[in-house]
Amino acid sequence: MTVAVDTRLSFDDVSMTFPDGTEALRHVSFGVGRGEFVTVVGPSGCGKSTLLRIASGLEQQTDGAVDVDRGDLGYVFQDATLLQWRTVEGNVALLAELDGMSRGERARRVAENVSLVGLDGFADKYPRQLSGGMRMRASLARSLVMDPAIFLFDEPFGALDEITRERLNDELLSLFQRNGFGALFITHSISEAVFLSTHVLVMSARPGRIVGTHDIPFSYPRPPELRFDAAFAELCGEVSTSLRSAHQ
């Protein structure tokens, strides 16, 4: 993939071997620029989460270089990781609060983003009162408050039902267009990958390497009906083929 003009995140020949000898990543290189939505698909255990943990600084790669502004990075985990004792509002405010954002600014942004993810009327609910989809929305809003330049998503909708997942995909894309962040997204759903992305990267089984790159040419906004388009199906087929060969 060509590195975009305004690069938000780049991996340069990154390798990772855990202290116990597990080799998780081998010579991974790619970049994510402004306006790019890059999705990585690959068999489970191939090192996708490790890739994001390295990008965010939660893990340190054993070789190669990562270039990213960690102060301007959003990270959405597979679990919503909401604090049970805080309401939706309190959870959405958390990162801003930890960053010492002024109270007024924080309140303004929290209200705006709670509304943006469609949680109006749920601001004072606790996580246990929410559905899985609503928790994920709250988790998303929590990161959106910081308006990051680059967003990492680790299978955020993996645990949700198909309908909820597709609706959240649509909403995520409108946020992507609205805020103009770069996105690095992990999923095991090929159609989700093709629907969301400008580029889909296929990763091999462990140790993870990038074995295929697919550019997705559809322009944004992408209507939900795109999923039934013949060209869409064809691209899914291509990704699927290259994923299958990566398994071997």
Ligand X SMILES: Nc1ncnc2c1ncn2[C@@H]1O[C@H](COP(=O)(O)OP(=O)(O)O)[C@@H](O)[C@H]1O
- Which residues would be at the binding site for other proteins (CB under 8 A)? 56-58, 73, 75, 77, 79, 81, 83-86, 94-95, 98-99, 126-128
We find the least distance from the C-beta atom of residue 136 to ligand X, in angstroms, to be: 18
User: What are the CA-CA distances from residue 44 to residues 50, 74, 194, 233, 247 (Å)?
Assistant: 11, 23, 18, 23, 10
Do residues 182 and 35 make contact, with C-beta atoms less than 8 angstroms apart?
yes
Residue 195, Cα to own-chain centre: how many angstroms?
Answer: 13
Nearer to other proteins, 48 or 209 (CB): 48
d(CA 55, CA 245) in angstroms, rounded, equals: 27
Find where tokens 């994923």 sit: 243
Residue 77 binding result from ligand X, other proteins, Mg ion, none, given CB thresholds of 5 to 8 Å by partner type: other proteins
Q: How many CB atoms are closer than 10 A to CB 174?
A: 13
Residue 18 binding result from Mg ion, other proteins, ligand X, none, given CB thresholds of 5 to 8 Å by partner type: ligand X
Query: Which amino acid makes up residue 181?
Result: F
We find the least distance from the C-beta atom of residue 142 to other proteins, in angstroms, to be: 9
- Choices 16-24, 84-92, 221-229, 238-246 (CB under 6 A): range interacting with ligand X: 16-24
- Choices 23-31, 47-55, 123-131, 228-236 (CB under 5 A): range interacting with Mg ion: 47-55
Q: Strand 23-33 and strand 37-41: pairing?
A: unpaired
- Choices 20-28, 62-70, 133-141, 228-236 (CB under 6 A): range interacting with ligand X: 20-28
We find the least distance from the C-beta atom of residue 77 to other proteins, in angstroms, to be: 5
Residue 34's SS3 state is coil
We find the least distance from the C-beta atom of residue 48 to Mg ion, in angstroms, to be: 5
Question: Is residue 24 involved in binding ligand X (CB under 6 A)?
Answer: yes
Do residues 208 and 42 make contact, with C-beta atoms less than 8 angstroms apart?
yes
Question: Is residue 26 involved in binding ligand X (CB under 6 A)?
Answer: no
d(CA 193, CA 199) in angstroms, rounded, equals: 9
Residue 83 binding result from ligand X, other proteins, Mg ion, none, given CB thresholds of 5 to 8 Å by partner type: other proteins
Q: In the 8-state DSSP scheme, what is residue 219?
A: P
Question: Is residue 50 involved in binding ligand X (CB under 6 A)?
Answer: yes
Binding site for Mg ion (CB under 5 A): 49
